[in-house]
Amino acid sequence: MADHSSHDPLAGIPFDLVPPSGAYGAAGEASVTVSTVETPFIALVVARNGFAASVAGRLGRAFGLEIADRAGAAMGAASTVVGTGPGRFLVLSKTEPDLAGTLRALLGAEAAITEQDDAFVTFDLAGDKVPDLLAKGALIDLDPRVFLPGHAATTVIAHVGVTLWRVHESGWRLLVARSYEASFTRFLVASGAEFGLRLENGTAGRG
Amino acid sequence: MRIPCPYCGERDAHEFAYLGDATVTRPDPAAADAAQAFHDYVYLRDNPAGAHQEWWYHANGCRQWLRVARDTRTHAIAAATSARVSGEPA
């Protein structure tokens, strides 16, 4: 009988630790690159009843982005605003250390702000095979002809809650609750191995 | 079964939690027959074969409550609307 364990890209890696950086699966040029990026400042904005349009407008003017109250990602050089529900916006910034405070000053009584800096781990997925990888765990249609750059979705992938958006033609960004990092990274490695996957992360070994 | 969420689009039923009959109305607790009315409200349900109004909660999506019109025989969904209308008092 064939020894299947030799084909397991995760063989020998403790299931509760983040797999180490490196190449997994098919040899040759990796078709999928997975990296965990530090998006240091994240806050959730929930518009109070009746203020969704006003909040979207204020956020758009403040960050120089086109923001509507829908499931989409508005991306700028320093900040991204993702719609996760009616009147709910996840704001990500590279440059605002006190993002929640800035948003409170901006939105006043129109919204409730919650700091989420440490809530998520951010996965950057690059490569043309990313939709094929994600299709193994997703319940939604991520076909590149359907899920276009700027589209966003809050859903489950591999039974794990995910907010994802397509950054550009061959780049996708996923926010996953931080405590799922090891488990979700294993899903990515196992599902991307057939295409050849390169994992680059600075948090290997974390449980 | 897929539910057409007004915010997220069509989503698999696994993303939702079923919260039951959307046709019952909470009775007035101050009414004289409140005990009986609450018993009926909490425990008694019709089991229609056909069109039904139901609450579904989009737990793994936009986290909103939906009112879904579903045919219990075919699972065909005629409509799904947000339970809360923005701007209305909560």
pLDDT digits (tens, 9 = 90+) for B19-32: 999 999 999 999 99
Q: So what's the pLDDT on residue B87?
A: 61
What pLDDT is stored for residue B85 in this prediction? 74
Give the rounded percent of residues in chain B with a pLDDT score beyond 70.
94
**Whether the complex's predicted ipTM surpasses the cut of 0.90:** no
* CATH code of the region A15-37+119-200: 3.30.1360.120
Which residues of chain B are within 8 Å of residue A49 when distances are taken between CB atoms? Answer: 86-90
Which candidate from B7, B60, B89 shows the least CB-CB separation from A86? Answer: B7
Q: Which amino acid is at B63?
A: R
| CB burial of residue A199 (10 Å; 0-12, 13-18, 19+) | buried
Domain A41-115 has CATH 2.30.40.10: no
3-state DSSP call for residue A82? strand
Residues in chain B: 90
Residue B23 contacts by C-beta under 8 Å, 6 or more apart in sequence?
Answer: B46, B52, B53
Q: Which pair of structure tokens corresponds to residue A165?
A: 């958006």
**Inter-chain touch A50–B12, beta carbons under 8 Å:** no
Percent of chain A with pLDDT over 90: 85
pLDDT surpasses 80 at B90: no
Rounded mean pLDDT, A67-76:
96
* Cα Dmax for chain A: 67
Q: What is the distance, to the nearest Å, from the Cα of residue A99 to the centroid of all Cα atoms in its chain?
A: 19
Contact B60 A161 (CB under 8 A): yes
Q: Is the pLDDT of residue B70 over 80?
A: yes
Chain B positions in Cβ-Cβ contact with residue A85 (cut-off 8 Å): 7, 61-64
Which among B14, B64, B89 is the nearest to A86, CB-wise?
Answer: B64
Q: What are the residue ranges spanned by the domains of chain B?
A: 1-23+49-85
Query: Nearest C-alpha of chain B: how many angstroms from A47?
Result: 10
Residue with the two structure tokens 């605002």: A96
Edge-to-edge strand ranges of the sheet holding A111-115: A73-75, A79-85, A88-93, A41-47, A111-115
Chain B: nearest CA to A88, how far in angstroms?
8
With an 8 Å Cβ cutoff, is B86 touching chain A? Answer: yes
pLDDT score for A206: 60
Band (pLDDT 50/70/90 cuts) for residue B78 is very high
In this complex, the residue of B61, B82, B87 whose CB is nearest that of residue A154 is: B61
Of the partner residues B15, B87, B89, the one whose CB lies closest to the CB of residue A155: B15
Nearest to A46 by CA among A100, A95, A110, A98: A110
The answer to whether B15 faces chain A, any CB pair under 8 Å, is yes
Residue A68 reports pLDDT greater than 80: yes
Residues 119-178 of A with CB under 8 A from B: 139-140, 153-156, 161
Task: In chain A, list all ranges with CATH 3.30.1360.120.
Answer: 15-37+119-200
Domain B1-23+49-85 in CATH: superfamily? Folate-binding superfamily (3.30.2270.10)
Average pLDDT, chain B: 93
Distance CA A35, CA A201 (A): 5
Q: What is the mean pLDDT of residues B32-61?
A: 95
Phi, psi angle pair for A183, to nearest 5° = -65, -45
Res A3 pLDDT > 70:
no
- Cα(B8)–Cα(A161) distance, integer angstroms: 14
Q: What are the pLDDT digits (tens) for A12-45? A: 899 899 999 999 998 888 899 999 987 779 999 9
* B86, two tokens: 């923005």
Q: How far apart are CA A109 and CA A50, in angstroms?
A: 12
A102: how many CB neighbours lie within 10 A of its CB? 17
Q: Residue A191 in 3-state DSSP?
A: helix
Condensed to tens digits (0 to 9), the pLDDT of residues A42-55 reads 999 999 999 999 99
**What whole-number distance in Å separates Cα of residue A43 and Cα of residue A75?**
15
Q: How far is B42 from chain A (nearest CA, A)?
A: 29
Three-state DSSP state, B38: helix
> What amino acid occupies position A35?
S
